[in-house]
Homo-oligomer: A and B are copies of this chain.
């Protein structure tokens, strides 16, 4: 059996399943980000890369996600690899005939060198990784579970700007209760020392007590604030998130809080520093005014998205043993 359960990277990415951010140590991240930087150079450079030439990566998306799908497809192809793309396999005959996830994965792995999976149900990607005999499985988001490459791209975006992931001051805003990306990023940053995060959210959407205690225990300094006026000047980054409409049962409750905290030009002028970067995992629906988009500190529509592709390029090249 060639199969390895998802374990700590511990300096060796080759053939590892990538299921959770918990597999990465600061040293692993440091190495990954060094490779990511090289990948960026390759993508920006006009010369085509053959690093993944002859490699096939299968993208199995059980729920649609054009952003993540496009980013992974782009990552494979930027490196000269090819994809097999399976969307909505649950509507395909075999699954509808009662085939198990395990069998489905073992069929798909016969045609390729790695499988990227997106699934709406927590834990399914781990289950797929346990089923695969031969090829590594990469988690592209499993419901309210993990989406490790999103957290990695957020961390790389901060790292790229400041050259470090410790001794940072950040602002996390919006839906801190439900936002998966918020929790992942906080968990990632807690691997490093001396970081302070200001938490700005409507009362209804504050970080849960549990999560707050856990992150504090892990070493983050967390400060809850209730007004934009409390945002510290010269924070290293702002990480704004969407209030997730789909979490609300009553529309009035949603309407009440959805635009409570909005990044405006005025707010940027008043509270952001010269080097503050303004981040957002996207999609946004009004939390950042479009007039802010042109500000060079607004990285959400630029380097932050691009870094998603670069970090996925790095991960694929490492897992496939091509770097």
Contact = CB atoms under 8 A, between A and B. Distances in A.
A208 interface: no
A223 interface: no
A163 B106 CA distance: 26
Given A97-B242, A133-B302, A245-B97, A86 B106 contact: no
Contacts of A133: 301-302
The listed residue with most B CB atoms (<10 A of its CB), out of A86, A93, A110, A133, is A110
A84 B77 contact: yes
A48 B80 CA distance: 11
Contacts of A194: none
Nearest to A307: B110
B92 A82 contact: no
Contacts of A108: 66, 70
Contacts of A48: 53-55
A54 B53 CA distance: 11
Interface residues on A, range: 35 or more
Interface in A41-58: 46-49, 53-56, 58
Nearest to A303: B110
B47 A54 contact: yes
A177 B89 CA distance: 28
A111 interface: yes
A54 B65 contact: no
Interface stretch (A13-21, A260-268, A280-288): A280-288
Contact of A71 (B98, B111, B306): B111
A12 interface: no
A74 B301 contact: no
Contacts of A110: 71, 74, 302, 305-306, 308-309
A283 B70 contact: no
A115 to B, nearest CB: 11
Nearest to A56: B77
Contacts of A64: 91-93
A56 B85 CA distance: 16
Interface in A130-188: 133
A84 B94 contact: no
A305 B107 contact: yes
8 contacts: A63-B93, A66-B108, A70-B108, A94-B282, A97-B285, A103-B301, A106-B305, A133-B301
Given A49-B54, A110-B309, 14 more contacts: A47-B54, A56-B77, A65-B94, A66-B104, A67-B94, A70-B108, A70-B111, A71-B111, A73-B85, A98-B245, A99-B284, A103-B301, A110-B308, A133-B302
Interface of A: 46-49, 53-56, 58, 63-67, 69-71, 73-74, 77-78, 80, 82, 84-86, 89, 91-95, 97-100, 102-104, 106-108, 110-112, 133, 242, 245-246, 282-285, 290, 301-302, 305-306, 308-309
Q: Which 3 A-B pairs have the closest CB atoms?
A: A48-B54, A74-B111, A99-B283
